[in-house]
Structure 1
Amino acid sequence: MNIRSTTTLNNGVTMPWLGLGVYKAEEGDEVVRAVQEALIAGYRSIDTASFYQNEEGVGRAIAQSDVPRDEIFITTKVWNDDQGYNETLAAFEQSRRKLGVDVIDLYLIHWPVTGKFKDTWRAMEKLYEDGKVRAIGVSNFLVHHLENLLENATVVPAVNQVEYHPWLSQPDLYDFCKGKGIQVEAWSPLTRGRKFDDLQLKEIAERHGKTPAQVLIRWDLQNEVVTIPKSVTKERIQANTEVFDFQLSETEMDVLNECNEGLRFGPHPDEFV
């Protein structure tokens, strides 16, 4: 496995295992530089969202890059206020215009807005059928949200992007997604840095001559979870790619797997919307 390695989604589309997240990257020079540095470092997947308000900068960085558009996997998301059938179709066109692309690679429902996400999904199915997006998926959906969605869906989500790290591994959700052929993707994979001082994590990192962040990314990859660590600094963007030259042992994986305690650093999906 290397930085160009991909997983095959349930519709046959390939998606890089490692990507750059741009949440809280400021629109303009900051996000442009981050995306450009990532592409130079070998990243081929960029994850943004309308809520991040930096789609234009992401699009500008991609347009200015020497990397061909068809080699770059772009993800964006429809925000809660834009959910609903017609609203989602309009939001998608706005995102596509800001990104400056004809086709978006992956379009996600950002959060499961009660009473709206089914209509939102119908709109996304239309976008998919019309060839405007290569794959559609969801974000922050728990098992009961997925079960509800699948009652009427004609397209099974290709991806479920959720908060995922050793202290929130959500095994029931992980197993459900695996069983349905839904690729799990991790946001906040680095715990926003709040667990870097964990003694067991530090011991594993020291054993491999790696940082805690690199161990957490490696843990994701060995669990077959796509991961999108966020950074805007050249050094960290590069460091987050240096995870393909070592492997965690079965014992080390078990130690990290046993850290799960339902600890969230972001909102709970049932309480946020």
Structure 2
Amino acid sequence: KLLQEGKAKAIGVCNYSMRHLKELFENCEVRPMVNQVEFHPLLVQAELLEFCEQEGLAFQAFASLGSGDSRRARDFFALSGVQAAARAHGATPAAVLLRWATQKGCHIIPKSSDPGRMKQNATIFGFHLTDEELEAIDASHVNARLTWGGTDPDRIG
């Protein structure tokens, strides 16, 4: 209705699995333009990312730096693939993680109120990770969710 009234330009969904998206596509009048999902080195949702790309749906990543949990962010920053890429490019681990997500095809939404971190986040466009570096970070995948209390949204509804 908001689209029809011109009050919205597009609609999106959050935490939709492939199953949820397929079900939605079969029953909706207007397809969403974006699916916002948890995406980080411990949860590389490659199959869902590929599905969204095939369906023309933007894949927007949240929790790429650890979901606001500074302990988790430090865990991500300590991953060997992240550390190696940071050294190789003279970048911060956070910049490497954001660059990794971007190169994977994700639209990222890093949150920071710190001007220094905002500037660091903008450095992701000054370097490019190699295929080997991307694979080294991908190797951290263990299907671990930081949000939803660790519950897979596919198990809901």
The equivalences for 1:79-228 within 5 A come to 126-192=1-67, 193=73, 194-228=75-109
Q: Separation in 2 of the partners of 1:250 and 1:170?
A: 18
Q: Separation in 2 of the partners of 1:182 and 1:204?
A: 29
Q: Separation in 1 of the partners of 2:138 and 2:155?
A: 26
Cα deviation for residue 191 of structure 1 reads: 2.1
Q: What code does the residue aligned with 1:139 have?
A: C
Partner secondary structure for residue 11 of structure 2:
strand
Higher Rg of the two aligned structures: 1
Partner secondary structure for residue 135 of structure 1:
coil
**Residue deviations 1:43-83 (CA, integer Å, cap 9, x gap):** xxxxxxxxxxxxxxxxxxxxxxxxxxxxxxxxxxxxxxxxx
Does 1 or 2 have the higher relative contact order (CA < 8 Å, sep 6+)? 2
Q: What code does the residue aligned with 1:138 have?
A: V
Give the equivalent residue in structure 2 for 1:246. 127
- Runs of 5+ unmatched residues, structure 1: 1-125
Partner secondary structure for residue 185 of structure 1:
strand
* TM-score for the superposition, normalised by structure 2: 0.87
CA contact (8 A) 2:18 2:51 kept: yes
CA contact (8 A) 2:43 2:141 kept: yes
Alpha-carbon RMSD: 1.6
Partner secondary structure for residue 243 of structure 1:
helix
Q: Separation in 2 of the partners of 1:199 and 1:255?
A: 8
CA contact (8 A) 2:41 2:76 kept: no
Q: Separation in 2 of the partners of 1:272 and 1:196?
A: 31
Compare the two structures and name the one with the higher strand fraction: 1
**Residue deviations 1:231-257 (CA, integer Å, cap 9, x gap):** 111111121111111100111112122
Select the residue among 128, 138, 142 that pairs with 1:257: 138
Q: Separation in 1 of the partners of 2:30 and 2:50?
A: 19
Select the residue among 109, 114, 119 that pairs with 1:233: 114
Cα deviation for residue 177 of structure 1 reads: 0.9
Aligned residues: 148
Inter-CA distance 272–236: structure 2 relative to 1 (3 Å threshold): farther
- State the percentage of identical aligned residues: 38
Q: Separation in 1 of the partners of 2:50 and 2:155?
A: 23
**Residue deviations 1:15-37 (CA, integer Å, cap 9, x gap):** xxxxxxxxxxxxxxxxxxxxxxx
